[in-house]
């Protein structure tokens, strides 16, 4: 009997040893198979490539992670240069200049898509963002640098040339009403940022931050898995009024400080024009930052809400979902919408007197 017990105990022990050996072998094989890949992926993500570009009247910087980062960044730079050639209102060979000169032009698919989006944002913002603003922008001298204050009757005439209905988009071409002209400056950088993100993704990039003249767009999160920290600039100087922590997204700001002139009577006129008054928008806001999932949305809305002014912009945000705002008014009140209030960290700034959370 004792002998029998010893034999079955030995058998159980042998089975246990075999099972343990199989488990250890399987674990070793898994480690062998996946460890090099994990390590490789980590090393690829650690490769950081930085570059810059002067384009679209602004200084752009690129921070791209991954073993394909340099090639991907070069493709993005070529893309931006190409888009600038198509959309610049000052380059007489651009698609947009040709359209403005002749009133009718066949467009590339990309330009047509951008115009469609611009028209849609014009409607969505009740005409505050207006891609046909160019006659007014030009009259104030914002493209040439020959600044002037146009007379009221001139502005009244030019206002008649603006509005989404002045731009008709057919299969592959655009038609403008007599005298109307397009300016995509209020949305082009955001849109090109979206194209840049697509290019980075196509190159296998999972983590990147691009700043197109202060407009920040990110891909994924940082290689260490943490959020990006994006500074919000003061419209008065180079200081920051706060920081915001974001994953993948866009943080785009509009303000008169970016381009303006001071008239003889001391009045400061900014480059964002109200299609309703024909004059540079001055409705109580000094800067508007939009946080959204696409650059074209954030860019068009930052321009539109700046034109709307404090009260109208708050009402627009309350009635429309899908984006968040940080807006500084000229009395030093900083309005931060509830969706990003917790991820916004105010910094000690003389330009911000009060912080006000806005809720739906
Ligand atoms: P942003 O910095 O994105 O607000 O764009 C400002 C630029 O958009 C200006 O320099 C003009 O080229 C153009 N712009 C000015 N006013 C408007 C407007 N009401 N709607 C659309 N674009 C505008
Ligand atoms: Mg804009």
**Per-residue pLDDT reduced to its tens digit, 250-269:** 999 999 877 899 998 999 99
Q: How far apart are CA 87 and CA 183, in angstroms?
A: 8
pLDDT grade, residue 53 (50/70/90)?
Answer: very high
Cα separation values, 360 from 3, 314, 328, Å: 81, 9, 19
Distance, C-alpha 326 to centroid of its chain: 14
Reported confidence tier of residue 343, pLDDT bands at 50, 70, 90: very high
Q: In the structure, what pLDDT confidence band is assigned to residue 134 with cuts at 50, 70 and 90?
A: very high
- CATH topology for 94-176? T-fold (1.10.3980)
| Poorest-pLDDT segment among 82-86, 142-146, 190-194, 219-223 | 142-146
> Which pLDDT score is estimated for 186?
97
Query: Which atom, in ligand 1's list, is nearest to the CA of 131?
Result: 21
> What are 198-213's pLDDT values in tens digits?
999 999 999 999 999 9
Q: Where residue 12 falls among pLDDT bands split at 50, 70, 90?
A: confident
How far apart are the CA of 191 and the centre of ligand 2, in A? 10
Task: Read off the pLDDT band of 28 (50, 70, 90).
Answer: low
pLDDT tens across 101-118, in order? Answer: 999 999 999 999 999 999
Local confidence band at 21 (pLDDT 50, 70, 90 cut-offs):
confident
- On average, the pLDDT of the chain sits at 92
Domain borders along the chain are 94-176, 227-358
Tokens of 127: 């005409």
Question: What is this structure's pTM?
Answer: 0.88
Q: Which atom of ligand 1 is nearest to the CA of 189?
A: 3
Task: Average the pLDDT over each of 161-175, 255-269, 341-355 and give the range with the smallest value.
Answer: 255-269
- pLDDT at residue number 212: 97
Q: Would you state the pLDDT for residue 259?
A: 86
pLDDT at residue 277 above 60?
yes
Q: Is the dihedral of CA 149, 152, 157, 163 positive or negative?
A: positive
Q: Are 100 and 176 in contact, with CB atoms under 8 Å apart? A: yes
Q: What is the 3-state secondary structure (H, E, C) of the chain?
A: CHHHHHHHHHHHHHHHHHHHHHHHHHHHHHHHHHHHHHHHHHHHHHCEEEEEEEECCEEEEEEEECCCHHHHHHHHHHHHHHHHHHHCCCCCCCHHHHHHHHCEEECCHHHHHHHHHHHHHHHHCCCCCCCCCHHHHHHCCCCCCCCCCCCHHHHHHHHCCCCHHHEEECCCEEEECCCCCCCCCCCHHHHHHHHHHHHHHHCCCCEEEEEECCEEEEECCCCCCCCEEEEEECCCCCCEEEEEEECCCEEEEECHHHCEEECCCCCEEECCECCCCCCECCCCEEEEEEEECCHHHHHHHHHHHHHHCHHHHHHHHHHCCCCEEEEEECCCEEEEEHHHHCCEEECCCCCCCEEEEECC
Residue 130 alpha carbon to ligand 1 centre in Å: 8
Q: Which residue, judged by its Cα, is nearest atom 15 of ligand 1?
A: 272
| CA within 13 Å, CB half, 332 | 7
pLDDT range class, residue 42, cuts 50, 70, 90: low
For residue 304, how far is its CA from the centre of ligand 1 (angstroms)? 8
Task: Give ligand 1 pocket residues (Cβ under 6 A).
Answer: 129-130, 133, 137, 142, 183, 185-186, 254, 258-259, 271-273, 275, 299, 302-303, 307
The CATH number, out of the four listed (3.10.520.10, 3.30.559.10, 1.10.3720.10, 3.30.413.10), of the domain defined by the range 227-358: 3.10.520.10
- pLDDT of 274 strictly over 90: yes
Predicted pLDDT at 241: 95
Residues contacting residue 130 through CB under 8 Å, at least 6 positions apart = 122, 162, 163, 164, 275
pLDDT at 103: 97
Give residue 214 CA to ligand 2 midpoint distance, Å: 12
Ligand showing the shortest atom-to-Cα distance for residue 274: 1
pLDDT of residue 41: 57
Token code pair at residue 311: 């009260």
Give Dmax over CA atoms of the chain in angstroms. Answer: 117
Say how many Å lie between the CA of residue 291 and the centre of ligand 1.
18
pLDDT for res 199:
98
Reply yes or no on whether the pLDDT at 3 is more than 70. no
Closest CA to 200 of 59, 317, 71, 49: 71
Q: State what percent of residues in the chain have pLDDT above 90.
A: 82
Q: Is the pLDDT of residue 194 over 90?
A: yes
């Amino acid at each position: 009997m004792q002998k029998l017990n010893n034999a079955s105990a030995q058998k159980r022990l042998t089975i246990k040893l075999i099972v343990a050996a199989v488990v250890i072998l399987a674990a070793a094989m898994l480690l062998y198979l996946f460890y090099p890949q994990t390590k490789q992926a980590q090393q690829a993500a650690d490769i950081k490539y930085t570059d810059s570009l002067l384009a679209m009247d602004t200084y752009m910087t690129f921070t791209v992670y991954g073993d394909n980062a340099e090639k991907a960044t070069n493709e993005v730079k070529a893309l931006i240069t190409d888009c600038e050639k198509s959309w610049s209102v000052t380059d007489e060979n651009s698609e947009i200049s040709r359209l403005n000169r002749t009133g009718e032009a066949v467009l590339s698919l990309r330009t047509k898509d951008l115009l469609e989006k611009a028209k849609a944002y014009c409607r969505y913002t009740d005409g505050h963002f207006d891609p046909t603003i160019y006659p007014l922008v030009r009259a104030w001298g914002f493209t040439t640098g020959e600044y002037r204050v146009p007379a009221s009757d001139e502005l009244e005439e030019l206002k008649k040339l603006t509005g989404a209905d002045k731009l008709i988009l057919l299969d592959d071409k655009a038609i403008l009403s007599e005298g109307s002209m397009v300016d995509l400056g209020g949305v082009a950088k955001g849109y090109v940022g979206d194209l840049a993100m697509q290019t980075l993704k196509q190159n296998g990039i999972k983590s990147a931050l691009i700043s197109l003249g202060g407009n920040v767009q990110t891909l994924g999160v940082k290689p260490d898995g943490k959020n990006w920290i994006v500074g919000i600039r003061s419209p008065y100087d180079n200081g920051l009024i706060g920081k915001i922590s974001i994953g993948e997204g866009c943080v785009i700001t509009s303000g008169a400080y970016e381009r303006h002139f001071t008239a003889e009577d001391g009045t400061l006129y900014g480059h964002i024009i109200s299609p309703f008054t024909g004059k540079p928008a001055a409705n109580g806001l000094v800067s508007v930052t939009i946080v959204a999932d696409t650059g074209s949305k954030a860019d068009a809305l930052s321009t539109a809400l700046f034109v709307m002014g404090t009260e109208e912009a708050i009402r627009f945000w309350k009635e429309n979902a899908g984006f968040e705002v940080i807006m500084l008014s000229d009395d030093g009140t900083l309005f931060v919408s509830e969706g990003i209030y917790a991820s916004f960290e105010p910094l000690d700034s003389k330009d911000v007197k009060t912080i006000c959370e806005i809720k739906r």
